[in-house]
Amino acid sequence: MITSDKTARQIFEEVMANPQRTPFGFGKKAVLVNVDPQKAYTRTDLFKTAYETDPKQFDYVNQLSRAVRALGWPVVWTHVAFLDSAEDAGVWGTRTDTPDSLQNIKYGSERAAFDERVEIDPADVVYTKRMPSAFFETPLQSLLVWHQVDTVIVTGGSTSGCIRATAVESLSRGYRTIVPMECVADKHESYHFANLTDLHLKYADVMPVAEVLAWLENQAGAADAG
């Protein structure tokens, strides 16, 4: 094992400055999967479980959403919520039982509600999930097959939890996976940057959101020209 005194942020910045892997790249058609932009994880003024990395995260997420919708491609939003009994949280809900515990994000609660800053269109797809990956026991895979997408763009949180799980499962299902770095967040910068590094080296293309928006704009231009 290589040891280092560098911070996770420093290692991430070095990896991004010196590419060591051939990018998976974009395909022909994408879905945008916005993972859990709900108050339990976004409203730092209300809940201690919330976090913020880039203060403009939701501005960027909304820009991506508008660009994907304009192409007629699917935009998906997920959030976590559990039954009053919490039995659908399974073993994941057994470690703690406090008002802030995961399994106590109940259906219809403020913690389960989407952040007011995100722009959800009536035509968007909304799924409730109960485990880290947006694919696990949701209809997401069927939706992607129907739309014949080959690229999954993932935003939301947390980088070390649900983003990582979704990205790994996306790659495992054969999708090119893109993580716009300004559009994901975590509780601590160490977890955040360590997982961005790992995702970029193994499972996804981590890149500036400007590059993702530029690709979407090029797709729109090509569609207009056609």
Which pairs count as long-range contacts for 111-114, CB under 8 Å and 24+ apart, including other chains? 111/38, 111/39, 111/40, 111/47, 111/49, 112/38, 112/39, 112/40, 112/79, 112/80, 112/81, 113/38, 113/39, 113/79, 114/37, 114/38, 114/39, 114/77, 114/79
The residue annotated as part of the active site, out of 15, 32, 40, 162, is 162
Three-state SS for 143? helix
How many other CB atoms sit within 10 Å of the CB of residue 100?
A: 12
Residue 183 annotated among the catalytic residues of the structure? no
How many other CB atoms sit within 10 Å of the CB of residue 195?
A: 23
Could you tell me where the DSSP H helices lie in 33-148?
39-42, 57-70, 140-147
Catalytic residue positions, numbered: 162
